[in-house]
């Protein structure tokens, strides 16, 4: 199936590695051009090089907590590639800990980046999108079902789902789509860190996989393919929803 991605241009945050980078790989493989962003300038430059360099990908270092980043990303896409068709907004996971054990400062810092930074980016980017544009938000399965030991994520992700639905309703008449993506257990660097924190990562992985209907943890490319489809014209009648990519782990219908 032709996804219609050829020559289209997308901005991706948190994309020097993990789910953002996996999505960028899928987009570029189908002919799209991408603007990658992440905090570490060297890492985002290296990621852009791996995707083929300036003809296919460029890097813009930055943090979603920086109010100027969304405008800089929009400008980079237009200046380098001449257009902007959508974005994948992804942020790193917040500090682990129960909702009562994390500090006020950790809550504030996470809100500034994960919640406000995401809403600001979506607001800025959707304003520049025309009919056919699309935004994907990388959230978490915690938006539907709380995850033990991730209190900040459990608190902020559901709010982002509500905000995304509201923005989808507002942008729908212009033909601009907004979709939430809910990754479950996928073997990213973040997942490896959480596994290591248990003290026995092999045992933890075995227990996790036993609870997943497909009996395995996901690969980042499996998420990337779903995200690339959602952003593509092939998904032109999909908006205002959240899509789990979790091997069947969520139990809600």
CATH number at residue 33: 3.40.50.720
Per-residue pLDDT tens digits for 207-239? 999 999 999 999 999 999 999 999 999 999 999
**Is residue 212 assigned to a domain?**
no
Query: Would you say residue 196 lies in a domain?
Result: no
pLDDT confidence tier of residue 74, bands split at 50, 70 and 90: very high
> Can you give the pLDDT at residue 171?
97
State the pLDDT confidence band at 191, using cuts at 50, 70 and 90: confident
Provide the pLDDT for residue 146.
Answer: 86
Residues 6+ apart with CB under 8 A from 229: 3, 235
Instruction: State residue 104's pLDDT score.
Output: 94
**Does some domain include residue 153?**
yes
Specify if 209 maps to a domain: no
d(C-alpha 118, C-alpha 122), whole Å: 6
Answer whether 159's CB lies under 8 Å from 189's CB.
no
Inside any domain, residue 104 = yes
Q: Are 83 and 77 in contact (CB under 8 A)?
A: yes
Domain count, the chain: 1
Q: Which two tokens stand for residue 16?
A: 């020097």
pTM: 0.93
Q: Find the domain containing 77 and state its range.
A: 9-186+220-243
Could you tell me if residue 205 is inside a domain? Answer: no
- 198 occurs within a structural domain: no
Residue 168 domain-assigned (yes or no) = yes
Rounded Cα distance between 97 and 142, Å, is 14
């Amino acid at each position: 199936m032709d996804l219609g991605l050829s020559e289209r241009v997308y901005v991706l945050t948190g994309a020097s590695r993990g789910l953002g980078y996996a999505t960028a790989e899928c987009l570029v493989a189908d002919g799209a051009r991408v603007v990658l962003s992440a905090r570490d300038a060297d890492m985002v430059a290296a990621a852009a090089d791996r995707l083929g360099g300036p003809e296919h990908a460029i890097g813009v270092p930055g943090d979603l907590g920086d109010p100027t980043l969304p405008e800089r990303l929009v400008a980079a896409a237009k200046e380098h590639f001449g257009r902007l068709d959508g974005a994948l907004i992804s942020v790193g996971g917040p500090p682990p800990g129960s909702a009562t054990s994390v500090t006020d400062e950790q809550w504030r810092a996470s809100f500034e980046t994960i919640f406000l930074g995401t809403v600001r980016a979506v607001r800025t980017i959707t304003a520049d999108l025309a009919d056919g544009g699309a935004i994907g938000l990388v959230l978490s399965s915690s938006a539907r079902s709380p995850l033990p030991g991730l209190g900040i994520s459990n608190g902020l992700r559901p709010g982002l789902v509500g905000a995304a639905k509201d923005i989808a309703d507002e942008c729908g008449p212009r033909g601009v789509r907004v979709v939430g993506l809910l990754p479950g257990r996928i073997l990213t660097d973040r997942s490896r860190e959480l596994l290591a924190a248990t003290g026995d990562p092999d045992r933890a992985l075995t227990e996790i996989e036993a609870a997943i209907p497909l009996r395995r943890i996901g690969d980042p490319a499996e998420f990337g393919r779903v995200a690339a489809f959602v952003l593509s014209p092939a998904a032109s009648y999909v908006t205002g929803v959240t899509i789990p990519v979790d091997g069947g782990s969520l139990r809600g219908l």
